[in-house]
Every structure is written in structure tokens, then in C-alpha cells.
Amino acid sequence: MYETDLTDFQWQVMQNALPVARRRKYSLRLILNALLYLTKSGCQWRLLPNDFPPYPICFYYFRRWQADGRWARLNKMLVEQDRQQSAPSR
């Protein structure tokens, strides 16, 4: 487990924007954890720890989600969720 791994709550929020119904060899949560680790650590793709899926698979999803705008949607969802949680109660 890494410091950058998604919590259960974070994963629940992100599942709404990801196609999780299909069976895969590697879970999307594990792939997202790898991408978060890569972003935080700044390591090279080939240097991802062996706990994560192979780097070509992670890179494939990174580029695919970048091209179809999914990263932007995920970011928007998380910002909205954070604003709702931090808004003062009425």
C-alpha cells in the first residue's frame, strides 16, 4: 500500500466516471493507483513498482482517458465533491 493509493471513499466517487462493468485482468482502481503514484513520485513509466500493472497498460489508460476527456471529468467531479463537503452547513 502506498501513500498515493485511493481510499474506499475516493474510489466510490471515481467509479461513477469510469467504465467498471467490464472484466479486466487488472482493476481500474489498481491502474488509477499506479497513475497517482507515477504523478506524485515523478518516476519514469518503466520504473513503476511491480505492485502495479505493467507500465504499457497504465500508459494505455492514461493516454486513452486523456484523449477522451475523462481526466477532466474526474477532476471536475472531485472538485465538486470537495466543495460540497467543505461548504458550511445551513
pLDDT given at position 85: 81
Question: How would residue 90 be classed by pLDDT, with cut points 50, 70 and 90?
Answer: low
Q: What is this structure's pTM?
A: 0.83
Reported as a single tens digit per residue, the pLDDT across 31-76 is 999 999 999 999 999 999 999 999 999 999 999 999 999 888 888 8
> Over the chain, what HEC string results?
CCCCCCCHHHHHHHHCCCCCCCCCCCCHHHHHHHHHHHHHHCCCHHHCCCCCCCHHHHHHHHHHHHHCCHHHHHHHHHHHHHHHHHCCCC
